[in-house]
Amino acid sequence: MAETIYSLEQISGWQSELMDFAKTPRTRFSKKQAVVAMIDEIEAALEAHPYEQVAEKLKALGLDIAPGSLKQYVNAYRREHGTGSVTTAAKRSRKKAKQKKAEMKATEGAGRSAVSVSARRASQEGEVLETSNNSGVASRVRKVPEKAPDGFLEMAEDL
């Protein structure tokens, strides 16, 4: 089969036609594209109404969209653009996460303090102690013999 050859004039004509076409506004949209095109108005409606009511209103206007799809499209837009209001559910989720983190720190701190008190006692008594903190992690504490600094002599205690 023979290869088709195009002239520079043809390519230039196509380029200018495509540039003109690119400047014309889009006339057909998918549901997701429609939501993105109306995102400011949808965000304003969501400040006063839940997703279910906004989806019902859009259906009445001619955009057949389920509340779950609307929520998915809006959240995807917010993630991509780092914008949008934070929903009450998101606020609750963050609050729970902070509370859980604080509880874990408190539990961890209690476990550490118990281990450190036992470690101090073990080092004073010169014994090996096996402990376990609240997370179930076992640790060993052993007294290390103290060395006299260089240049000092150790004397027996019974003198």
CB 121 within 8 A of CB 134: no
Look at 3-7, 39-43, 69-73, 134-138 and tell me which has the smallest mean pLDDT: 134-138
Could you tell me the pLDDT band of residue 65, with boundaries at 50, 70 and 90?
A: very high
Torsion angles phi and psi, residue 140, rounded to 5: -115, 140
Average pLDDT, the chain: 78
The pLDDT of residue 86 is 55
Q: Is 70 helix (H, G, I), strand (E, B) or coil?
A: helix
Environment class of 47 (CB within 10 Å of its CB; exposed 0-12, middle 13-18, buried 19+): exposed
Looking only at the bridges linking them, the beta strands covering 138-141 and 129-132 are antiparallel
- Banded model confidence at residue 98, pLDDT cuts 50, 70, 90: confident
Domain ranges in the chain?
A: 28-85, 90-141
pLDDT tens, residue by residue, 113-144: 545 555 555 555 555 555 555 555 555 555 55
For the full predicted model, state whether its pTM sits above 0.85.
no
Partner residues linked to 81 by β-bridges: none
Residue 57 clears pLDDT 60, i.e. is over it: yes
% of the chain residues with pLDDT over 70: 60
